[in-house]
């Protein structure tokens, strides 16, 4: 534990409510300084479902989207910063409540710790309280940073996919990171769903720039490989400094994809959506990947992109296969540290749940030095076989901070072309 004073946890800031019937109530008051204080009766995200009273102040908008608005607020009793996502619950859809239930399922493994949720019975407004999440921009990237962040993203996807859960909204704005420790977390499970083969799903899902082509073709029986396509778009964006497929509409999005990948064949279209019958597309040749990216882009990065951004869903790498790609070999070097001199986050403490899709990759994913540190030569030690995280608070592959670290500021991964000529921490960024 660090030497800093202990902060009051979210749970300690909540006051038990004796009458559960008060659920859904909300009141507004003023503190001694005249600041607005909102008090709600909320159900804890983890542990017992006993409603608790939560009071917060200093509310400000830090993000919004089609599914709701995200606020930053401060808990009155503890001073802890929390993020509050407010969404309207449409009775026709289950997606809003699914957000809370999935995060409750992951517990230690979820991307953001679910603190509590409150449902206003009068207007169907749901407030979901999360751990500290102050979104800012990290505009400059070294290639090493790209490898580190993308590796953690793929490891996150490998884990949730092992449960059959598809995120369905992978994009830079949903990747949170600590710039000092380089720990990344996947957030916003508002669109996530446990996919069941043969069960129809909505095709109008995922933010446009990161939408897999099978979704554009109207597929409803897709797989979690749509997340892999989105992750490929994120990787390309970090390398380019701008979105690789910046379509203005659904149709234009397909045009942008065709400009790079070329016109899909009939067989590729059938693989994306067997029910699609319109095949009238202009014949355009694929653009060489080496000409898509800037000249000094590592060949391994280009090779990985080409294996992620495939028309045929089954031709894409799985997240676990992506983690084993040579693009991430530098991370497996025991002598490599972060640019600030710190040790890398825990990257190789795989559990059997994570390795379940392809156990044969363990010899690549868990390098010899990591096996030696774990006291075993194979991933059969306690952390790899029990399916439980080890004690290191950064060990969970979705990289959740425990309560003791909840005051850490998190930053949104976002590439910005206009700043690529500047210097970051004394190191020159590869220029376009």
SS3 content of the chain, % helix, strand, coil (to 5): 35, 20, 50
What confidence category does residue 114 fall into, taking pLDDT thresholds of 50, 70 and 90? Answer: low
Q: Which of the given ranges, 117-126, 181-190, 198-207, has the highest pLDDT on average?
A: 198-207
CATH number of 10-130: 3.30.200.20
Do the beta carbons of residue 46 and residue 130 sit within 8 Å?
no
- Higher per-residue pLDDT: 270 or 22: 270
225 in Cβ contact with 314 (< 8 Å): yes
Confidence grade of residue 46 (pLDDT, cut at 50, 70, 90): low
Question: Averaging pLDDT over each range in 12-26, 97-111, 132-146, 230-244, which range is the top one?
Answer: 230-244
Q: Is 86 annotated as a binding residue?
A: yes
Higher pLDDT, 142 or 108: 142
Could you confirm whether 58 is annotated as catalytic? no
Q: Which of the four pLDDT bands, split at 50, 70 and 90, describes residue 375? A: low
SS3 of 136, please?
A: coil
Least confident of 90-99, 146-155, 196-205, 244-253: 90-99
The pLDDT of residue 303:
98
Q: Which is catalytic among the residues 169, 178, 188, 227?
A: 169
Provide the CATH topology of domain 139-432: Transferase(Phosphotransferase); domain 1 (1.10.510)
Q: Domain spans of the chain?
A: 10-130, 139-432
pLDDT value for 376 = 44
According to DSSP, the β-strands at 137-138 and 125-130 are: unpaired
Q: What pLDDT score does 87 carry?
A: 62
In percent, how much of the chain has pLDDT > 70? 63
Cα–Cα separations (whole angstroms), residue 11 to 44, 49, 89, 168, 243: 8, 12, 25, 30, 40
Task: Spell out the long-range contacts of 121-127 with Cβ–Cβ below 8 A and sequence spacing 24 or more.
Answer: 121/23, 121/24, 122/24, 123/88, 124/88, 124/89, 124/90, 124/91, 125/86, 125/87, 125/88, 125/89, 126/86, 126/87, 126/88, 126/89, 126/96, 126/97, 126/100, 127/40, 127/42, 127/84, 127/85, 127/86
Tell which wins on pLDDT, 145 or 54: 145
The pLDDT of residue 102 is: 46
Q: Per-residue pLDDT tens for 303-340?
A: 999 999 999 999 999 999 999 999 999 999 999 999 88
- Residue 139: which pLDDT band, with cuts at 50, 70 and 90? very low
pTM score: 0.68
At 429 the pLDDT is 28
């Amino acid at each position: 534990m660090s030497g800093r004073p202990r902060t009051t946890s979210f749970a300690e800031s909540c006051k038990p409510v004796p009458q559960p019937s008060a659920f859904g109530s909300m009141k507004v008051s003023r503190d001694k300084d005249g600041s607005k204080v909102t008090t709600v009766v909320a159900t804890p995200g983890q542990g017992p479902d006993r409603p608790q009273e939560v009071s917060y102040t200093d509310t400000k908008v830090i993000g919004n989207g089609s599914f709701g608005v995200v606020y930053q607020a401060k808990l009155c009793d503890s001073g802890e910063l929390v993020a509050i996502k407010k969404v309207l619950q449409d009775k026709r859809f289950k997606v809003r409540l699914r957000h809370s239930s999935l995060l409750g399922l992951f517990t230690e493994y979820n991307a953001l710790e679910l603190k509590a949720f409150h449902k206003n019975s009068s207007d169907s407004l749901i407030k979901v309280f999360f751990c500290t999440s102050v979104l800012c921009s990290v505009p400059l990237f070294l290639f090493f940073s790209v490898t580190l962040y993308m590796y953690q993203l793929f490891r996150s996807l490998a884990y949730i996919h092992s449960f059959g859960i598809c995120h369905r909204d992978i994009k830079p704005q949903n990747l949170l990171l600590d710039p000092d420790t380089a720990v990344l977390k996947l957030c916003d499970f508002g669109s996530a769903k446990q996919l069941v083969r043969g069960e129809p799903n909505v095709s109008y899902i995922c933010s446009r720039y990161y939408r897999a082509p099978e979704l554009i073709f109207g597929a409803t029986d897709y797989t979690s490989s749509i997340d892999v396509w989105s992750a490929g778009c994120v990787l390309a964006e970090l390398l380019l400094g701008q979105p690789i497929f910046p379509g203005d509409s659904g149709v234009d999005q397909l045009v942008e994809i065709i400009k790079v990948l070329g016109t899909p064949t009939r067989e590729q279209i059938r693989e994306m959506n067997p029910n699609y019958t319109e095949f009238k597309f202009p014949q355009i040749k694929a653009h060489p990947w080496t000409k898509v990216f800037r000249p000094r882009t590592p060949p391994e990065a280009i090779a990985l992109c080409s294996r992620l951004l495939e028309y045929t869903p089954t031709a894409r790498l799985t997240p676990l296969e992506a983690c084993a790609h040579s693009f991430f070999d530098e991370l497996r070097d025991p002598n490599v540290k972060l640019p600030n001199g710190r040790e890398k986050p825990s990257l190789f403490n795989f559990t059997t749940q994570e390795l379940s899709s392809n156990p044969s990759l363990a010899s690549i994913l868990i390098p010899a030095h990591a096996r030696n540190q774990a006291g075993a030569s194979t991933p059969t030690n306690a952390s790899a076989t029990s399916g439980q995280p080890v004690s290191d608070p950064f060990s969970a592959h979705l990289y959740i901070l425990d309560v003791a670290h909840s005051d850490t500021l998190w930053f949104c991964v976002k590439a910005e072309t206009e700043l690529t000529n500047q210097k970051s921490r004394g190191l020159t960024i590869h220029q376009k």
